[in-house]
A and B are shown apart, each in its own frame.
Chain A
Amino acid sequence: MRSSAMSELLEVLRYREILWNLVRRNLKVRYKNSVLGFAWSLLNPLMQIGVWYFVFKILFGRDEPNFMALLVTGFLPWLFFSQTIMDSTAAVSQEMPLIKKAYFPRTILPVSVLLSNLIHLGFAFIVLLALFALWGVDLNIHYLWVIPSTILVAVFAYGLCAMLAAWSVFYADVKFIVSNLLGLWFFLTPVLYPLKLVLDKTMESPDNWVEFFLQSNLPLFKKIYVIDPLTIAIEGYRSALLEGGAMPIADPRYPFWHYAIGAAVIAVATAVIGQIIFRRKADAFAEQG
């Protein structure tokens, strides 16, 4: 296992020329024919955030200090994750002409999706820092905490991306299931609300079976919620960008490092399993469609 993973990596490195070209192509194509080009990397999330701001702050009158900053910092890692997952369903199935044309390690395809989206996140980040500078926010060293947070989501996203990319070749349904599950997952991460809301949640009198189910295992579900690599990464971003690197989560019932290590284990396991699934399916790609 170890040696085959090693040789896989070497093979990808040997074909890095294709990898860079695919990444370059993905980047060029996404905003082709748009006047603003790469600026959309941040404009897109900003406009989305504008919509939420309007809905929650103005329509619903949610009263939270720093609401806008909370949204931006939570949405960036989420957007990177969800975009990678959305792209993954096309990562192999849309590249059939390349696959049938020549040999290259197929792992390059999910890797190129991951790298393209990391670069988009990078662009978004640069624009965000520029905005911070404009607003007179002092940049500080604690911002570097976004790096481990990003690595955590990236590893996790890669695993899901690889397995979804492989399954999508054989089952068109994967795409639809994925987009709907992502919609649910979004609300199960603390992007739109502070984490505290979930951690302090109690359920007194369940009305229906879903609530009953949740109430019966509430402490467990909360633990799962917190150990989700997305939750950890989002809280990591907020701590880095808004709280000067203060310990994320800040709830003694949920010691951050325990959950962060748990999330890292989940992310790595997902990546390994995803890669194994991808490799087992890869030989059959060219025979499909």
Chain B
Amino acid sequence: MSAIEVRDVWKKYRRPHVKTTSVKEAALAILRGQQGYDEFWALQGVSFEVQQGEAIGLIGPNGSGKSTMLGMLARVLKPTRGTMSVRGRVCPLLELGTGFHPELSGRENVFLNSSLLGLTRRETQQRYDSIVDFAELGEFMDSPVKTYSTGMVIRLGFSVAVHMDPDVLLIDEVLGVGDEHFQHKSFGRLLEFKEEGRTMFVVSHNLQSVGILCERAIWLDRGRMVKDEGSDEVITKYKAAVEAWERSLAEAKTRDAPAS
């Protein structure tokens, strides 16, 4: 049974020329007959399926639509066209460490964040010790989050997220959070998820980690799917393409250099 189904999904964004944030600017733009924005397609007809228990990586250069895809799978964004469905409880590991309120204690924020990810108060209570333990923040939990370092906030965010009981994990660039020790630990936790047969959807620029975590990878470029194959093949081809592109850049530079 497929856990994720994406059918011919398109996503259009409006890119304002000059950011219109006031009524006056908007009124002036209308008077001048300006539209005020460009439309651009972040995703252009992407389709794929992910089977239950499969781990799939999404790679591609900046601006290729990876995060947009993830945002739509998390239901944070809506596709402009096309349909998508995700079966089961989804745990989005997006924007880790955001959504914490600086004035509230770590403890209070854990409960707020967990409820945002779909846990009830009781479920959070059951996991609370384990969450604190994993984040290694024992003695800080009653201090306001504004006194935390960036690393502590991210650790707490990650810890809350991996204590959900998800069928599908959506992971956006969280493979390298925290110090060396925490990176090992969090990567180990993700491997455990994989062994438990949970579906994983990983967006990352860390190709090595994608290679280890995922058996399959999708390569996106400017909103279109380039490849959807085994992760090792896709990564090899992607690396080759990036190298070729860098070579051509370097060549263009040396070619132009004498002229100038």
| Closest CB in chain B relative to A223 CB, distance in Å | 30
Instruction: Select the stretch in B16-24, B132-140, B223-231 that faces chain A.
Output: B16-24
**A171 interface residue (CB < 8 Å to B):** yes
Instruction: Decide: A100 near B101, CB < 8 A? Known: A21-B112, A25-B112.
Output: no
B64-115 interface with A by 8 A CB criterion? 71, 74-78, 92, 94-95, 98-99, 101, 103-104, 108, 111-112, 115
**B50 interface residue (CB < 8 Å to A):** no
Query: In the complex the two chains form, what is the Cα distance from A80 to B24 in whole Å?
Result: 31
Query: In the complex the two chains form, what is the Cα distance from A170 to B23 in whole Å?
Result: 9
Instruction: Decide: A21 near B115, CB < 8 A? Known: A29-B101, A99-B76.
Output: yes
Q: Are B117 and A173 in contact (CB under 8 A)?
A: no
Query: In the complex the two chains form, what is the Cα distance from A102 to B121 in whole Å?
Result: 17
Query: In the complex the two chains form, what is the Cα distance from A32 to B104 in whole Å?
Result: 9
Query: In the complex the two chains form, what is the Cα distance from A173 to B20 in whole Å?
Result: 11
The total of chain B residues at the interface (CB under 8 A) is 31
Task: Using CB atoms, name the residue of chain A closest to B102.
Answer: A29
Q: Are B22 and A171 in contact (CB under 8 A)?
A: yes
| Closest CB in chain A relative to B139 CB, distance in Å | 21
Binary interface encoding of chain A residues 124-153 relative to chain B, with 1 for a CB under 8 A from any of its CBs, else 0: 000000000000000000000000000000
| Closest CB in chain B relative to A242 CB, distance in Å | 38
**B2 interface residue (CB < 8 Å to A):** no
Query: In the complex the two chains form, what is the Cα distance from A99 to B101 in whole Å?
Result: 14
DSSP majority for the B interface?
loop
Q: Are A18 and B94 in contact (CB under 8 A)?
A: no
Q: Are A103 and B74 in contact (CB under 8 A)?
A: yes
**A220 interface residue (CB < 8 Å to B):** no
Set B77, B95, B101, B115: member contacting A287, Cβ < 8 A: B77
**B13 interface residue (CB < 8 Å to A):** yes
Instruction: Decide: A103 near B76, CB < 8 A? Known: A18-B116, A173-B24.
Output: yes
**A69 interface residue (CB < 8 Å to B):** no
Q: Are A102 and B108 in contact (CB under 8 A)?
A: no
Residues of chain A whose beta carbon lies under 8 Å from any beta carbon of chain B: 17-18, 20-22, 24-25, 28-29, 32-33, 97-104, 170-173, 283, 286-287
Residues of chain B whose beta carbon lies under 8 Å from any beta carbon of chain A: 13-14, 21-24, 26, 71, 74-78, 92, 94-95, 98-99, 101, 103-104, 108, 111-112, 115-121
Q: List 25 A-B contacts (CB under 8 A).
A: A17-B119, A18-B115, A21-B112, A21-B116, A22-B112, A25-B101, A28-B104, A29-B104, A97-B98, A97-B99, A99-B76, A100-B71, A100-B76, A100-B95, A101-B92, A101-B95, A102-B74, A103-B74, A104-B116, A170-B21, A171-B22, A172-B21, A173-B21, A287-B13, A287-B77
10 pairs of A and B residues whose beta carbons are closest in the complex? A103-B75, A97-B98, A17-B115, A97-B99, A21-B115, A21-B112, A98-B99, A173-B23, A32-B103, A18-B115
List 11 additional A-B contacts (Cβ < 8 Å) besides A32-B104, A101-B98, A287-B77: A21-B111, A28-B104, A29-B101, A97-B98, A100-B94, A102-B76, A102-B94, A102-B118, A170-B21, A171-B21, A283-B78
